[in-house]
């Protein structure tokens, strides 16, 4: 009986070790690269810090992303997954050091728990006595079901670097149907983020502004907006802005980024 209990304890320990270490670092495994092959370490648009990466813990991913964008950071990649293990923040910081990120936005939330059992086969020896043949031992096995509970967590970890060159400092999105109805047009873009200490910030562009034209160039969508800005690098332009149903004209210089 003592042997059975000892082997059961060993099996339980091995099971716990498997649950804790049976998965490689998922920050690497599930990493999605946003750089499209650009070597960010040699790109003059970005500030590469020699300091250790910092981590921002958040329970609101959307708000955390907005704050980083407003401060001039750009995401270079992310890892999103769920796992039956409480991975440490140190794992994410180590991976940030490898991919060149200076900031890690870290979200972790308890998902659920699942209980199951795993069979454990143990040796089972039975001894009997017969006055004619003496003592005999019969060897067999016994199956014991071990209860196991897995605690699952949702993870969303994104990696960011500081961008130091902006043409205007605006992030825009294509218009949605309510926006199109509001202005009576399919063309234009809507400002989602205004980056601090940029021409757009200093010239009082606001989230929610709808941009219609740059000089005489009509903005069709977000792709055309960025293409038009590229044409006017280093020049003063007039941008047609619709705010609260009224059109205003803003004069702003487009920075060079190269």
- Residue-wise pLDDT for 19-28, tens only, equals 333 456 677 7
Q: Specify if 140 maps to a domain.
A: no
- CA atoms within 13 Å, Cβ hemisphere of 122: 21
Residue 104 token pair: 């890690």
* Residue after which a domain boundary falls, among 102, 129, 163: 163
Residue 102: which H helix or E strand, with range? none
Answer yes or no: do 84 and 181 share one domain: no
Mean pLDDT over the full length of the chain: 85
Q: Specify if 133 maps to a domain.
A: no
Domain count for the chain: 2
User: To the nearest 5 percent, what fractions of the chain are helix, strand and coil?
Assistant: 25, 45, 30
Average pLDDT over residues 219-239: 96
Answer yes or no: do 202 and 175 share one domain: yes
Report whether pLDDT(250) > 50: yes
The pLDDT, as a whole number, for residue 22 is 45
**Closest listed residue to residue 153, CA positions, set 116, 118, 114, 117:** 114
The answer to whether 84 and 150 are in contact (CB under 8 A) is yes
The pLDDT, as a whole number, for residue 24 is 61
Answer yes or no: do 88 and 216 share one domain: no
Q: Specify if 144 maps to a domain.
A: no
3-state SS class at 47: strand
Percent of the chain with pLDDT over 70: 87
Q: Which residue has the tokens 């059975």?
A: 4
CATH of the domain at 182: 2.30.42.10
Distance from C-alpha of 238 to C-alpha of 110, rounded to nearest angstrom? 50
pLDDT band at 65 (very low <50, low <70, confident <90, very high): very high
Residue 110 token pair: 């308890």
Q: Specify if 128 maps to a domain.
A: no
The pLDDT, as a whole number, for residue 186 is 97
- Residue-wise pLDDT for 106-152, tens only, equals 999 888 887 877 787 778 777 776 676 667 777 778 888 888 877 78
pLDDT band at 4 (very low <50, low <70, confident <90, very high): very low
Note if the pTM is more than 0.85. Answer: no
The pLDDT, as a whole number, for residue 105 is 96
Answer yes or no: do 187 and 158 share one domain: no
Structural domain including 220 reads 170-253
Percent of the chain with pLDDT over 90: 52
Distance of CA 173 to the CA centre of its chain: 20
The pLDDT, as a whole number, for residue 11 is 37
The pLDDT, as a whole number, for residue 95 is 87
Q: Which residue has the tokens 């991913």?
A: 61
Report whether pLDDT(73) > 80: yes
- Residue-wise pLDDT for 80-100, tens only, equals 888 776 677 888 898 898 888
Q: Specify if 137 maps to a domain.
A: no
- Residue-wise pLDDT for 151-195, tens only, equals 788 889 999 999 998 999 999 999 999 999 999 999 999 999 999
Higher-confidence residue of 208 and 131: namely 208
Q: Specify if 75 maps to a domain.
A: yes
Answer yes or no: do 93 and 189 share one domain: no
């Amino acid at each position: 009986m003592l042997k059975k209990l000892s082997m059961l304890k060993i099996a339980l320990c091995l099971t716990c070790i498997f649950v804790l270490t049976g998965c490689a670092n998922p920050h690497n495994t599930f990493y999605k690269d946003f750089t499209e092959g650009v070597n960010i370490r040699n790109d003059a648009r970005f500030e590469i810090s020699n300091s250790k990466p910092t981590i921002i813990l958040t329970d609101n991913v959307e708000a955390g992303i907005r704050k980083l964008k407003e401060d001039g950071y750009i995401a270079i990649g992310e890892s999103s997954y769920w796992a039956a293990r409480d991975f440490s923040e140190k794992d994410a910081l180590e991976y940030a050091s490898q991919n060149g990120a200076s900031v890690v936005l870290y979200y972790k939330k308890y998902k659920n728990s699942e209980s199951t059992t795993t069979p454990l086969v143990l040796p089972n020896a039975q001894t009997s006595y017969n006055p004619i043949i003496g003592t005999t031992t019969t060897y067999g096995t016994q199956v014991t079901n071990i209860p196991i509970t897995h605690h699952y967590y949702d993870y969303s970890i994104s990696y960011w670097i500081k961008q130091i060159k902006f043409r205007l400092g605006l992030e825009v999105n294509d218009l949605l149907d309510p926006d199109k109805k509001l202005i009576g047009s399919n063309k234009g873009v809507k400002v989602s983020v205004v980056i601090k200490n940029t021409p757009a910030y200093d010239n009082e562009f606001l989230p929610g502004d709808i941009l219609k034209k740059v000089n005489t160039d009509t903005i069709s969508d977000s792709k055309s907006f960025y293409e038009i800005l590229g044409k006017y690098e280093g020049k003063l332009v007039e941008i047609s802005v619709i705010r609260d149903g009224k059109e205003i004209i803003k004069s702003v210089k487009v920075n060079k980024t190269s």
